[in-house]
Amino acid sequence: MTERIITYAEAIREAIGQAMETDDSVFMLGEDIGIYGGAFGVSADLYHRFGKDRIIDTPISELGIVGAAVGAALVGMKPIVELQFSDFTAQAMDQIVNQAAKIHFMLGGALSVPMVLRAPSGSGTGAAAQHSQSLEAWFAHVPGLKVVMPSSPYEAKGLLLSALDDPNPVIFVEHKLLYKTSGNVPEEQYRIPIGTSNLVREGKDLTIVASGVMVSRSLEAAESLKDSGVDVEVIDIRSLSPFDAGPMNESILKTGKVMLVQEAPNHGGFMSEVAAQIAEGPALYSLTEPVKRLCGLDVPIPYAPQLEKSVVPQLDDIISNALEIHRGS
Amino acid sequence: MTSINPLLAPDTGSISEDPASASAALESLLSIRYFEEAVDGLFARGLMHGTMHLSIGQEAVATGVCAALRKTDFITSTHRGHGHCIAKGADLTRMMAELLAKQTGYCRGRGGSMHIADVETGNLGANGIVAGGIPIAAGAALAQKMKGNDNVVVSFFGDGATNEGAFHEAMNLAAIWDLPVVFVCENNKYGMSGSTEFSMRIDQISERAGSYGFPGVTVDGNDVDAVFLAAKTAVERARAGEGPTLIECMTYRHKGHSKSDKNLYRTKEEIEAWKAKDPLGLFQERLVEQGTLVQEQVDVIIEKARNAVRSAITEASEAPDSDPAEILSSVYREAK
């Protein structure tokens, strides 16, 4: 089959468009998603294809928008909310955490909230502390939410179509640095199951566990480490909630060494949960080196490019830490 | 299974002038009152746990508003929501079972008093977060508009909720999208201990509608007729696609905010003055004075409502306790 290369943003748009073509209940709500085309250009021409009644431009009103999505979902619609930056989820937290996540449970199963909240996340754009956070651990900590982090265009389309099938609220964490990256994406609809992890590169010496933008960065590091004689296996934990520890544990049983790479701050981050699951799992006693978390520093994201890079794991950081673990201490 | 006879809107005029509508409204008022008095008693005797918020004194709001609704219309409710549930047609037995932590309760013991919903009657749920249900109501109304039907959504909330951002964001969205939603503020003068004089600088909460560009009215919330007529106008406006209305219903809760309330922030005189304006007494007197119902007919309804609550307690008490075995599988809905 011939490859079809499109960007991560295009893959998301294609998934939304295909879902809207096949299901009248799917619609989008968000700030500047209409003629403007979205803060990161994801909705682009969807407004012209589906009209203002299904690609609904909203005022700057995150709590109201997410609340409206919850209400629409309760009565049979499937809203996709686009927030301009994942940081703005803080404005809408009551509706996400106290309402969307809990309604199905609190009401004894009478209703559910099938909605997708798209949250452009992460640093690397010089947008500083209020537009650059990686907040996925907040949501992974709340029972009732599902949390996915697509790491490539292929993943983005497949996970989004699954999220739209899901009868529960799904936080869809997109990384802003990935929007313009390209990859092979089939034109037809396909689904990547939520609640699965993915072995993206086989290797025998060291397991790297990563999500989102850190997957491609780790793959790049792995290629470079090949020259140093280190054969790295990379596991993409694309679904934080529910979480699938299987492929990771299998990998560690083989390699005996693991590094957990995340952009978000170290303290209380999702990789701390991953480390705990390794400790509780079948691979603990096969470890020949301690678990290594390579995470963002415990600081807000700074503005200056050299400062911004200094607080988030970069390619060189992944390589040097991998070498250190490989050599043993 | 015990629910009230469905509330009825009279073809013309007010509820108290029409025997059928008046009987249904009286049954609703009394059922809410007896249900909550029973719940209060069960708590006092240690037979019910957790917390609860009673709407005793506010029954005319739920009754008057729901009388203007169809079964296919929706409501969102509050932590003080028993009245809204009952007036919209919920089963008293399943409500009581929920409060008694039974498997047969509306929420199978997961929610309790603050989270009862009833999909059958269009009740999208009570809410433990002040103002939490208001944007949800706007969204449910947006969905009705998108589906092209003429259903209306009513959002009940208290005076305290109108100082929350969620209230203002939802009012604005409803206004700019002309949503078929009616915002019903039960102004019982206190958000827990904070009076409206303390918490806002305006005389009437209905004034807040003006800043969003739609009508706001204030009515006597202890008068079923007044509440109904305002709701009817607002519901007709919403159904016709003309957008939202804010109705402020002036009322009072006879009981404290919740079980912890020692009533230190209001005077006995104030409470007594409002009890003299009890919506149940006012409505019964009016019906008999106007000759809409005779006292014997009123007595029959009183007996029916008492019996309904008694049998709800009996049936609910006999039900099995909610079962921890299923708790982990209750968090997410299974995909089809």
Any domain includes A10: yes
Helix (H, G, I), strand (E, B) or coil at A193: coil
Any domain includes A190: no
Better-scored residue on pLDDT, A314 or B1? A314
> A158 and A288: one domain?
no
Any domain includes B294: yes
Any domain includes A107: yes
> A212 and A141: one domain?
no
Burial class, A317, CB count within 10 angstroms (exposed 0-12 / middle 13-18 / buried 19+)? middle
Long-range contacts made by residues A268-277, C-beta under 8 angstroms, separation at least 24? A268/A137, A269/A137, A269/A293, A269/A295, A269/A296, A270/A136, A270/A137, A270/A140, A270/A211, A270/A240, A271/A209, A271/A295, A273/A137, A273/A140, A273/A243, A274/A209, A274/A237, A274/A243, A274/A245, A274/A248, A277/A243, A277/A245, A277/A248
Residues of chain B neighbouring A54 (CB-CB closer than 8 A): 146
> A271 and A152: one domain?
no
DSSP assignment letter at A52: T
Considering only CB atoms, B166 lies closest to which of A94, A107, A111, namely A94
Which of these, B55, B49, B83, B89, lies nearest to B69 by C-alpha position? B89
Residues B87 and B62 sit within 8 Å (Cβ to Cβ): yes
Any domain includes A191: no
Residues A103-142 pLDDT 10s:
999 999 999 999 999 999 999 999 999 999 999 999 999 9
What is the distance in angstroms between the Cα of A183 and the nearest Cα belonging to chain B? 29
Percent of chain A with pLDDT over 70: 99
Considering only CB atoms, B331 lies closest to which of A74, A77, A105, namely A105
| Dist CA A257 CA B319 (whole Å) | 54
Percent of chain B with pLDDT over 90: 94
Residues A160-196 pLDDT 10s:
999 999 999 999 999 999 999 999 999 999 999 999 9
> A165 and A210: one domain?
no
DSSP assignment letter at A98: I
Any domain includes A189: no
B119-130 average pLDDT score:
96
> A323 and A215: one domain?
yes
In chain A, the number of structural domains is: 2
Residues B84 and B123 sit within 8 Å (Cβ to Cβ): yes
B116-135 average pLDDT score:
96
Instruction: Check which CATH number belongs to the domain holding B102 and give it.
Output: 3.40.50.970
pLDDT at B2: 87
Length of chain A: 329
Q: Is residue B106 less than 8 Å (CB to CB) from chain A?
A: yes
> A179 and A202: one domain?
no
* Beta strands A198-201; A170-175: pairing state: unpaired
> A44 and A101: one domain?
yes
For residue B277, give both structure tokens: 């304006």
Residues B7-35 pLDDT 10s:
999 999 999 999 999 999 999 999 999 99
Give the pLDDT band (50/70/90) at residue B1.
confident
> A131 and A221: one domain?
no
Any domain includes B211: yes
Are B127 and A108 within 8 A, CB to CB?
A: no
Burial class, B6, CB count within 10 angstroms (exposed 0-12 / middle 13-18 / buried 19+)? middle
Give the pLDDT band (50/70/90) at residue A19.
very high
Q: Is the peptide bond before B6 cis (omega within 30 degrees of 0)?
A: no
Instruction: Check which CATH number belongs to the domain holding A74 and give it.
Output: 3.40.50.970
Query: For residue B157, what are the CA distances in angstroms to B1, B91, B95, B186, B271?
Result: 28, 22, 20, 6, 21
Residues A249 and A284 sit within 8 Å (Cβ to Cβ): no
Query: Of A184, A219, A245, at which residue does a domain stop?
Result: A184
What is the residue range of A95's domain? 5-184
> A9 and A137: one domain?
yes
Residues B244-300 pLDDT 10s:
999 999 999 999 988 788 888 999 999 999 999 999 999 999 999 999 999 999 999
> A158 and A221: one domain?
no
ipTM value: 0.96
> A36 and A175: one domain?
yes
pTM to 2 decimal places: 0.97
Q: What angle do CA A154, A155, A157 make, to 5 degrees?
A: 70
Which of these, A97, A94, A99, A68, lies nearest to A81 by C-alpha position? A68
Any domain includes B295: yes
Residues A304-328 pLDDT 10s:
999 999 999 999 999 999 999 999 8
Query: Of A121, A152, A184, at which residue does a domain stop?
Result: A184
Q: Chain-wide mean pLDDT for chain A?
A: 97
pLDDT at A1: 62
A256-268 average pLDDT score:
98
Q: Is residue A223 less than 8 Å (CB to CB) from chain B?
A: no
Q: Report the sign of the C-alpha dihedral through residues B121, B123, B124, B126, in that order.
A: negative
DSSP letters spanning B136-186:
HHHHHHHHHHHHT----EEEEEETGGGGSHHHHHHHHHHHHTT-SEEEEEE
A24, A77, A106: which to substitute to probe chain B, counting the most B Cβ within 10 Å?
A106
| Dist CA A6 CA A4 (whole Å) | 6
Which of these, B26, B150, B161, B43, lies nearest to B99 by C-alpha position? B43
Q: Is residue A69 less than 8 Å (CB to CB) from chain B?
A: yes
Residues A55-100 pLDDT 10s:
999 999 999 999 999 999 999 999 999 999 999 999 999 999 999 9
In the predicted model, is pLDDT for residue A2 greater than 80? no
* Beta strands A198-201; A26-31: pairing state: unpaired
> A143 and A60: one domain?
yes
In chain B, the number of structural domains is: 1
- Give the chain B residue whose CA is nearest to the CA of A163: B335
Residues of B forming the active site: 253, 257, 265
Are B143 and A106 within 8 A, CB to CB?
A: no
What is the residue range of B241's domain? 15-313
pLDDT at A329: 53
Query: Crossing angle of helices A315-327/A213-227, nearest 10°?
Result: 50
| Dist CA B225 CA B218 (whole Å) | 13
Q: Is residue B1 less than 8 Å (CB to CB) from chain A?
A: no
| Dist CA B29 CA B132 (whole Å) | 26
Q: Is residue B174 less than 8 Å (CB to CB) from chain A?
A: no
Inter-chain CB pairs, A–B, below 8 Å:
146
Are A68 and B170 within 8 A, CB to CB?
A: yes
Query: Of A125, A150, A184, at which residue does a domain stop?
Result: A184
